[in-house]
Chain A
Amino acid sequence: MNKSSVKTIDIVQKGLKRRYRVERRFRRLGLAAIAASLIFLMLLFVSILGNGYSAIWQTHMRLDVYFDPQVFKDVVVSSADYGRLVKGALRSVFPDVSGRGELRKLSAMVSSGAAFQLREMVMEDRGLIGRQSTLWVPADDDVDMFFKGRLGPESGRLTEDQLSWIDHLKERKMIRKQFNRAFFTAGDSREPELSGIRGALYGSFFTLLITLAISFPLGVGTAVYLQEFAPRNRWTDLIEVNINNLAAVPSIVFGLLGLALFLNVFGVPRSAPLAGGLVLTLMTLPTIVIAGRAALQAVPPSIREAALGVGASRMQTVLHHVLPLALPGMLTGTIIGMARALGESAPLLMIGMVAFIVDIPHGFQDPSTVLPVQIYLWADSPERAFVERTSAATMVLLAFLVIMNGLAVWLRRKFERRW
């Protein structure tokens, strides 16, 4: 007896070292994994930030425009040749430039948006005609890139002449970086310097509004019914399995379904937030149902018993006691589902939300795109200046996602209960 107990302790001692070694190794592996993921996350942020930070500025050039009455002769104000005014202003800065090719190079340094800017000014105030006015107009994207140091002189995008003109403008303080308002106020554009995320933001907003308005009540209702009222039988088991599987279906499949069902059968307009919202609803619904059921399940049965015990009906028990306690959990699930929907692009490609849309949408039926699709579109564009805008738009998207997830965490913390 004594002998065997001594033996036991010896065996334990012998194995102890190995046990601790395994434990240490496991801990080190865990730390390494965390470090690796942190590094990758850092890399992601650094690369996005590094690429995108410069998009807050846009290079502008100063033009002293003479609104030559000649230009407005015999035409309606709205269709006058404003490009000619821009060219005139440029030529007054560089009087020695001549020759058609040279002149074209010169005027190419200013964004085509400058002409629109002039037009708007005149439309607002006809009194400008015949007067001189000083204004800052966006530079063309290549000039912008060069000025921000994103494009070396050796790239060949700018000619020797153009480089010297930029130097000349710099000397005369006629070129500078300004806050890039267009990025936040404009819709998409072929010209990087004129493009903005406003259209995509509005599109995302309207789309998510539809998704939220449909999937939240539907999801909560489904969760409550399945969890609190439905009898446990083969049918409800089948439904449960299906909902869990739906949550794992690749999102593009929902896009195909949306195309076939909403667009082709119900005639929902293509490219519209309505269609996008419906498709994303399909995708978000299972997430909300699953989160909702988990939240309901977390409400202790003693609360239900208490309510039933004083004679509350099942409906009253759920509405007065169970649902309010489960709601924070449901909201958390909903926000996470919404965040996923906000970042989703694949299913929206299927229903035409990938179109090039300049106008800012103002309703659920207007053609529009969404933020992640906008990022995709820009990333696909050849212009160098779209690179920084792609990253900047990604930053905006990530900011929204971080805010939404932060909200979810905050909700969970705030309403977390220990029973």
Chain B
Amino acid sequence: MQITFVQPYPAIQQEDRVKYQPSNKGEHLTHSLPEPDEDKPGSGTVGKPFLDDPRITCRHVNVYYGVKHAILDVSLDIGRNEVIAMIGPSGCGKSTFIRCLNRMNDTIDGCRIEGEIKLDGTDIYAKNVDVVPLRAQIGMVFQKPNPFPKSIFDNVAYGPKIHGLAGNRAELEEIVETSLKKAGLWEEVKDRLNQSGTGLSGGQQQRLCIARTIAVGPEVILMDEPCSALDPIATAKIEELMGELRQQYSIVIVTHSMQQAARVSQRTAYFHMGDLIEVGLTPQVFTMPRHQLTQDYITGRFG
């Protein structure tokens, strides 16, 4: 299936075609996901929240912060090798939702999660599930770049070290190098691996965090507004990176920039006040939103 993406952001599309190699080849916005089942009922969500061969399945997820009901009965599948974008106005629960996927919300006092989230068929909230291997499988990149105040090498090597992924120093160095290469940072830092990670620029720091995440070899990467603190050039680099990482990983990205969602994702989920309003292929959501709220949001009527 070939999707051409024309509206409503022709200008952006132009930019894309110039800037990004993947778009030029026409790969970036095309994908061979199985066609989602049309209109399976999913708690009032319109569009196609479910997939045939999902990586993560969420069913009737409810999240409460004390008495505040932050996520209202959300059901959604996340596919293999896809980038799914979460958009929506501030405070609608995007962060809350993706933090459920690697149980980051466990660390928040008073946060309660109901419903079922399965990774490859196993419930991640089951009693016997250990969050340590879970978080090794589902990595996370945060809004603000948060490298450890340690050397660049140690930043990337930390995950492999604690999980025992490298048998010796040479293997560890190899992992660090590949991760930094995948994150597109290797060329910039290869001569100063012993310098502090906090001494890098914001964009470099964020790519370092991405390298740190992929060094553990996760299967899913969660990104919570990874570019919101970055300048456009650093943003472009990270977006490009996501296109490459998709070959190997599933990526869930929260973003405030609809342009970004349009550029990097194959599917888009629109949240509104804790509710998952609409899910669909990105071009479809942006060109032919089926829900009035989505329409209002992407046309800038609120948000």
Contacts and interface: CB of A to CB of B under 8 A. Distances in A.
- Does A pair with B? yes
Interface stretch (B80-88, B135-143, B292-300): B135-143
Q: Which of A232, A312, A325 has the most CB of B within 10 A?
A: A312
B88 to A, nearest CB: 22
Contacts of B148: 303, 306-307, 321
Contact of B102 (A232, A300, A309, A417): A309
Contacts of A311: 131-136, 159, 162-163, 216
B146 A306 contact: yes
Interface string B89-113: 0000000000000101001010000
Contact of A306 (B107, B134, B147): B147
A50 B52 CA distance: 90
Interface of A: 231-232, 300, 302-313, 316, 320-321, 325, 417
B212 interface: yes
Contact of B139 (A302, A305, A309): A309
A417 B140 CA distance: 25
Interface string B146-170: 1111000000001100110000000
Contacts of A300: 146
A311 B138 CA distance: 9
A231 B144 contact: no
Contacts of B107: 304-305, 308
Given A309-B139, A310-B212, A303 B159 contact: no
B282 interface: no
Nearest to B163: A311
A316 B135 CA distance: 14
A305 B132 contact: no
A233 to B, nearest CB: 10
B104 A305 contact: yes
Which of A232, A300, A306 has most B Cβ within 10 Å? A306
Contacts of A303: 146, 148-149
Contacts of B131: 311
Contacts of B159: 310-311
A306 B149 contact: no
A316 B163 CA distance: 11
Interface string B214-227: 01100000000000
B141 to A, nearest CB: 8
28 contacts: A302-B142, A302-B146, A303-B146, A304-B107, A305-B107, A305-B142, A306-B146, A306-B209, A307-B148, A309-B102, A309-B135, A309-B140, A309-B142, A309-B213, A310-B139, A310-B158, A310-B159, A310-B212, A310-B215, A311-B132, A311-B162, A312-B132, A312-B162, A313-B132, A316-B162, A320-B162, A321-B148, A325-B149
Contacts, number: 64
A308 B163 CA distance: 12
Contacts of B132: 311-313
A232 B209 contact: no
Nearest to A321: B148
A296 to B, nearest CB: 15
A307 B212 CA distance: 10
Interface string B105-134: 001010000000000000000000001111
Nearest to B136: A311
Nearest to B158: A310
Nearest to B209: A306
A32 B52 CA distance: 78
Nearest to A312: B162
A310 B136 contact: yes
Given A305-B142, A306-B142, 13 more contacts: A232-B109, A300-B146, A303-B149, A305-B140, A306-B209, A309-B141, A310-B162, A311-B134, A311-B136, A311-B163, A316-B162, A320-B162, A325-B149
A41 B163 CA distance: 57
Nearest to B156: A310
Contacts of B215: 310
Given A232-B109, A321-B148, A417-B149, A310 B213 contact: yes
B142 A310 contact: no
A313 B212 CA distance: 16
A64 B140 CA distance: 88
Nearest to B135: A311
A231 B102 contact: no
B9 to A, nearest CB: 32
A1 to B, nearest CB: 33
Nearest to A316: B162
Contacts of A316: 162
- Closest 6 interchain pairs by CB? A311-B136, A302-B146, A310-B159, A311-B135, A309-B140, A306-B146
Contact of B146 (A305, A312, A325): A305
B226 to A, nearest CB: 12
B158 A320 contact: yes
Contacts of B158: 307, 310, 312, 320
A325 B198 CA distance: 14
A322 B163 CA distance: 19
B104 A308 contact: yes
Contacts of B140: 305, 309
Chain B CB within 10 Å — which of A232, A304, A313 has the most?
A313
